[in-house]
Structure 1
């Protein structure tokens, strides 16, 4: 068992979160780049008004996801060396969750756009719904159903108590 101080725990949590954001950031940037180039392709003028609406939803959702997933970097720059890592980690957790939501919307919209372009409407709808359910299963249902696998998160009260009595605690 390794003992770490609360400061070390916040540093570790921030480092873990940054690793997660790097993965998400790469994915959303690739999707966003694809969506930015799409209107300039030869086939785009043949899209229906519905497909253009879906494209706008996908594009704006990808832009929102990009902004949210990258925002912890700006927040870190603003708080650098102020000893506010707990605040930064809590903020980054919230915006990362929001970023994943917008990434979900963008991914499913992009699937709907492309499948509607190349397949009949019923097939496009079924594939897009299945894609959405697949994402929801692995990004929400499975993680939330397994939240009790490890130690429970510390409550605000426990965190405040630790600030008053800063004893190192053990990490398994």
Structure 2
């Protein structure tokens, strides 16, 4: 009987390349535990902001930026915490792989919403302190950093099989 060297023996422990692409469920939960506090902190800051006396003095366009920032921050919080709540409600999971795929999509959508909220929040704060033009410039820089670090670098590394 000929043995295919590419196939692991029955007694072998699979290496990471043999594991499913979406990773282990506990890895996904750990990743959510890292991203979720950022969304919570931003949402909490935005929720209390209108109750500060100076908020009434910002111009109408900044109030729209605030509203959009709040919307994206709360959306990210809902999407990032969704898989944990859904997992608890759906216990026991009948199709674990399908749930992981769905939860991964929610986490990615929540991360996109968080990235947008970070950019808008940056614009809101810096515009108030230094003016609209500087606010847009700094928000653009932050948006570029988020897009690069969160999305472009990992996709480049994956495409080039560097990690």
TM class by smaller structure: 0.7 to 0.9
Q: Unaligned regions of 5+ residues in structure 2, if any?
A: 1-11
Aligned equivalents of 1:11, 1:50: Cα separation in 2: 41
Of 24, 27, 46, 1:35 maps to 46
Residues 10 and 85 of structure 1 are in contact (CA less than 8 Å); yes or no, is this contact kept in structure 2? no
1:71 corresponding residue in structure 2: 82
Count of residue pairs the alignment pairs up: 148
Offset from partner CA, 1:11-37 (integer Å, 9 cap, x none): 961100000001111110000000001
Q: SS where residue 14 of structure 2 aligns?
A: strand
Partners of 2:73 and 2:113 within 8 A in 1: yes
Aligned to 2:158: 147
Matched, 1:114 2:112: no
- Aligned partner of 1:14 in structure 2 is 25
Q: Determine the structure 2 residue equivalent to 1:130.
A: 141
CA RMSD of aligned residues (A): 2.2
Q: Structure 1 unaligned segments of length 5 or more: list them.
A: 152-172
Q: Which digits, 9 at most, give the CA deviation of each residue in 1:19-56, with x for residues without a partner?
A: 00011111100000000010011210110001100000
Partner of 2:94: 83
Structure 1 runs (4+) greater than 2 angstroms displaced:
1-4, 8-12, 148-151
Aligned residue in 2 for 1:62: 73
| C-alpha separation in 2, matches of 1:57 and 1:65 | 12
Instruction: Give me the whole-angstrom Cα distance separating, in 2, the residues matched to 1:75 and 1:88.
Output: 9
**Aligned residue for 1:158?**
none
Task: Measure how far apart 1:77 and its partner are.
Answer: 1.9
Partner of 1:163: none
Measured in 2, the distance between the counterparts of 1:29 and 1:98 equals 16
Distance 1:122 1:27 in 2: 26
The answer for the alignment partner of 2:9 in structure 1 is none
